[in-house]
Amino acid sequence: MTLLIGVAGLAIDIGRMYVIRAELQSFTDAAALTAALSLDGTSAGLARARTAATRLAEGPHAMRWDMGTQPISHVVTSFSANQANWQNQPKNCADCRFVRVSASEPAPIIFLRLFQPLTSSTVAAASVAANTEQAVRLVQ
């Protein structure tokens, strides 16, 4: 019986982490696409793209994690022209076509505390979107 309860607790904590990761992945996908739509080769477009990603995590209709109860607060947006040199604060990015949005949150641990003295484990997700001549699309 003890083993069964331990396995059930492990399944609950790991299952919860998968749900949180799926929620964060949905957020990063939407944020990367929204930011990529704003990239137009100008510094104003870059500023709009930077704020577009975080805007989805704010306000009354914000995307949330932990079954929609917690706000997403750890968001990092970076830009690149070729997916090789990512910059969080590019000075001049006239040819930036790619945007990467990463989000991470501390997932609470309930049953796994018995095995390790942890209160949370970091769950993260990231997405890359490109603004090409044909369309805006997720790349990664």
Q: Dig out the tokens for 54 from the structure.
A: 């975080």
> Tens digits of per-residue pLDDT, 81-140?
888 788 777 777 777 889 999 999 988 888 777 666 667 788 999 999 998 888 888 888
> Tens digits of per-residue pLDDT, 8-53?
878 888 888 899 999 999 999 999 999 999 888 888 888 888 888 8
For residue 6, give Cα distances in angstroms to 3, 20, 110, 131. 5, 21, 12, 48
Residue type, 84: A
Residue type, 132: T
Residue type, 39: L
Each domain of the chain, given as residue ranges in start order, spans 2-138
